[in-house]
Structure 1
Amino acid sequence: MSDSEQRTEVNVVRRLVPADAMAYRARMLDAYERHPSAFTSTVAERGALPLRFWEERLAPGEDTADVVYGAFDAGGLVGAAGLSFEWRERARHKATLFGMSVAESARQAGFGRRLVLALLEHARQRPGLRLVQLTVTEGNDAAQRLYERCGFQPFGVEPLAIALDGQLLGKVHMWCDLLQPGHLQG
């Protein structure tokens, strides 16, 4: 896809490719900066990584370790979320949703839901995959409700999961069974 085609995408959710790496990096660094309690990674840790890290995360192909989808409005990339696939034989039936971010300017436009549903659909197409799991910081009720509307169920809380500014925050663990009907309702 050419740069001019990417610039004209509006209200689109699609899989990101290596050419999107700079925009993806900027989106995520902004998210780490504005919402540090939502992420385990810090802006300093991820900002120090070379562009190659971001490009590799967006590698094309059907059997990659990660896939990332992006949401675009007239201003460009406004949201992103990814799936990381287990490589170990006994855990290959699982994937982890990571890095969910929607820019402040694009919130309440349905991008978050569309990103999650696109990832779940992608997961359903991957042979042998049975469930997607994620964590959400305890107290982030809006994010937890979004995930629940998309078919995720909480199964426990990891206490003291992340340290942020002298506080220890818990993470709610959630999962979605890809074989359960009704999880892709509009």
Structure 2
Amino acid sequence: MHFIEPGMYPIRILTAADASAYRSLMLEAYEQAPDAFTATAAERRAEPESWWIRRIGSADGLATSLGAWQNEQLVGTVALEYSAKPKTRHAALVLGMYVQAAQRGQGLGLALMKAAVAAASSRPEILALNLTLTEGNEPALRLYRSVGFVTWGVQPQAIRIEAGLKGKVHMSLSLS
């Protein structure tokens, strides 16, 4: 299923066949933007292929990953995780958002986020999207706000990075 095609970047749901491309892109993300993720590149590099396949999309329908492509190369991605718990299955988590540096500033991040919102909205039980970002990541904050996400809190000292401790900004988007 294709969602949005911003110029030359078709966006579609990733499948197990995309696992190698997804792993390569996300390892690049962990290396290039280590402050944006709670896991390290070394931790993710150690994950087996089966972990990456589950991350792309689980058989139980609790995970979906979207990818943006340029000339058959994966250049951007965003993932959705859904809860199986009755009390929280109305909200999905947005994670793993990354666009390669060469493709930034062209609206691809916005297109990926709109595709994620569309994918979540296609599930009638999903009423909200939640995400976190590291304090100080102003480009990501602007992007998420442009889609309609609102900040509802900041977890202080949530992650330890080379520069010290940083908080995690919590944001939500109502789909109802």
The TM-score normalised by the length of structure 1 is 0.87
Residue 60 of structure 1, CA deviation: 6.8
**CA displacement, residues 44-100 of structure 1 (integer Å, 9 cap, x when unaligned):** 111000111111222376x51110000111261000110011111101111100000
**CA displacement, residues 5-58 of structure 1 (integer Å, 9 cap, x when unaligned):** xxxxx4101111110000000000001011110001110111000111111222
The partner residue of 1:95 within 92, 97, 111 is 92
Aligned pairs, number: 169
- Root mean square deviation of aligned Cα: 1.4
Secondary structure of the residue aligned to 1:91 is: coil
What is the one-letter code of the residue matched to 2:151? Answer: P
Q: Does 1:36 align with 2:38?
A: no
What is the one-letter code of the residue matched to 1:51? Answer: E
In structure 2, do the counterparts of structure 1 residues 107 and 75 end up closer, same or farther at CA, with 3 Å as the change threshold? farther
Q: Does 1:170 align with 2:160?
A: no
Match of residue 26 from structure 1: 24
- Structure 1 unaligned segments of length 5 or more: list them: 1-9, 180-186
How do 1:12-91 residues align onto structure 2 when only pairs under 5 Å count?
12-59=10-57, 64-74=61-71, 76-91=73-88
What is the one-letter code of the residue matched to 1:65? Answer: L
**CA displacement, residues 92-151 of structure 1 (integer Å, 9 cap, x when unaligned):** 111100000000011112111111111111111113111000001111111000000011
Q: Does 1:124 align with 2:117?
A: no
Secondary structure of the residue aligned to 1:22 is: helix
- Distance in 2 between residues matched to 1:51 and 1:71, nearest whole Å: 21
Q: Is the contact made by 2:57 and 2:65 (CA closer than 8 Å) also made in structure 1?
A: no
- Distance in 2 between residues matched to 1:120 and 1:75, nearest whole Å: 24
Match of residue 158 from structure 1: 155
Q: Is the contact made by 2:67 and 2:75 (CA closer than 8 Å) also made in structure 1?
A: yes
What is the one-letter code of the residue matched to 2:143? Answer: L
In structure 2, do the counterparts of structure 1 residues 60 and 66 end up closer, same or farther at CA, with 3 Å as the change threshold? closer
Secondary structure of the residue aligned to 1:24 is: helix
- Distance in 2 between residues matched to 1:127 and 1:75, nearest whole Å: 32
Residue 175 of structure 1, CA deviation: 0.2
Q: Does 1:104 align with 2:101?
A: yes
Bigger CA drift: 141-150 or 74-83?
Answer: 74-83
What is the one-letter code of the residue matched to 1:103? Answer: Q
In structure 2, do the counterparts of structure 1 residues 59 and 97 end up closer, same or farther at CA, with 3 Å as the change threshold? closer
